[in-house]
Amino acid sequence: MKALGILPFARKLIDTYIEQGATVIDATCGNGNDTLYLAQQLQGTGVIHAFDIQQSAINNTKDKTAAFNNIEYHLDGHQNVLDYVDSPVRLSIFNLGYLPKGDKSIVTLPQTTIQAIERIFSILEKEGIIILVIYPGHAEGQIEKEVVLNYLQQFNQEDAHIFKYEFINQKNNPPFICAIEKR
Ligand code: SAM
């Protein structure tokens, strides 16, 4: 048995929760790695909504997922999700922070991240999941971690199971996962 790293664990969660024909959301599509993974798992069924506020991210994601025709790309903030999605959502993934190899001044922000989580939760299926990969290794990420964790800790336990996956003996504020499963 080998400990799963953070991104492999996120994929394990996707594998566990995704269902054929589902509506799923990549809330921060960036270079499109998660959008591609979701599309591969859905095998042409269902719908994937991919959000990013950077045109370059949308372009990269479109290029990476050109083989699929069940993806809707939204050049808009994930906090505006309800303008585009109204069907029940099975799964959503957020990779917070800045785009690797991109503009490091463009980062996800706690207030809009929480708005997006709340709005997606409002249309999340029972036993659906929101996966958050949180990166506290940069200054804004540290703040976002505090605010988002505080928000999640206050969440009513009757409404959701929320858990955290992290390596507690790693140095330099490694990334970790929080996931919200709707009850
Ligand atoms: N999952 C991506 C991948 O596979 O390459 C990496 C995502 S990167 C860590 C974070 C992304 O969030 C950036 O591309 C950034 O532009 C985007 N972002 C920042 N604020 C956003 C918002 N309000 N709504 C949607 N995307 C946002």
pLDDT, residue 1, reads 80
Helix-strand-coil split of the chain, %, nearest 5: 35, 25, 40
Helix (H, G, I), strand (E, B) or coil at 117: helix
Instruction: Find the 30 Cα to ligand 1 centroid distance in Å.
Output: 5
Closest ligand 1 atom, CA of 107? 19
DSSP 8-36: HHHHHHHHHH--TT-EEEES--TTSHHHH
Helix (H, G, I), strand (E, B) or coil at 132: strand
Residue bearing tokens 């990420």 = 141
What is the mean pLDDT of the segment spanning 69-86? 98
Q: Assess contact for 130 and 94: CB atoms under 8 A.
A: yes
**The pair of three-digit structure tokens given for residue 147, joined into one six-digit string:** 């605010």
Closest ligand 1 atom, CA of 135? 9
Q: Which tens digit of pLDDT belongs to each residue from 90-108?
A: 999 999 999 988 999 999 9
ipTM: 0.98
pLDDT, residue 175, reads 98
Helix (H, G, I), strand (E, B) or coil at 102: coil
Task: Look at ligand 1, atom 20, and give the residue with the nearest C-alpha.
Answer: 108
Residue 15 has pLDDT above 90, yes or no: yes
Q: How far apart are CA 133 and CA 11, in angstroms?
A: 11
Q: Which tens digit of pLDDT belongs to each residue from 104-132?
A: 999 999 999 999 999 999 999 999 999 99
Give the binding-site residues of ligand 1, using a 6 Å CB cut-off: 28-34, 51-54, 57, 77-79, 95, 97, 99, 106, 108, 112
pTM for the whole thing?
Answer: 0.98
| Strand-pair partners of 107 | 98
From 24, 108, 133, mutation site for ligand 1 pocket: most ligand atoms within 8 A of C-beta: 108
